Amino acid sequence: MLAVMFGEMKRTEIQNALGLKHEDHFRDAYLLPALAAKVIAMTQPDSPKSPTQKYRLTEKGKQIKKSTTP
């Protein structure tokens, strides 16, 4: 997931970049674990269900991406 992320992205943009179709599976298997691990963050943490919600890499996520990307 980190490999396909750049800047601020909507959930659907990340999901499409990964080629995943099922929203529930994406949320449970990718999005929530990445948020819990603090490798991504919400742009609007006070409004998690906002239609304009986007996600961005945290510093931790950037470091992991940098160390795993050739």
Ordered by start, the domain boundaries in the chain are 2-68
Radius of gyration from C-alpha coordinates of the chain = 11
pLDDT of residue 5: 96
pLDDT of residue 65: 93
pLDDT of residue 68: 86
Q: Tell me if 39 sits within 8 A of 60, measured CB to CB.
A: yes
Q: Which fold has domain 2-68?
A: Arc Repressor Mutant, subunit A (1.10.10)
Distance CA 26, CA 64 (A): 20
Token digits for 52? 């304009």
* Average of per-residue pLDDT across 51-61: 97
Please report the DSSP string for 9-62 in residue order: B-HHHHHHHHT---HHHHIIIIIHHHHHTTSEEES-TT-TT-TT--EEE-HHHH
Q: Using one digit for the tens of pLDDT, what is the confidence trace for 5-53?
A: 999 999 999 999 999 999 999 999 999 999 999 999 999 999 999 999 9
Residue 69 predicted with pLDDT over 90: no
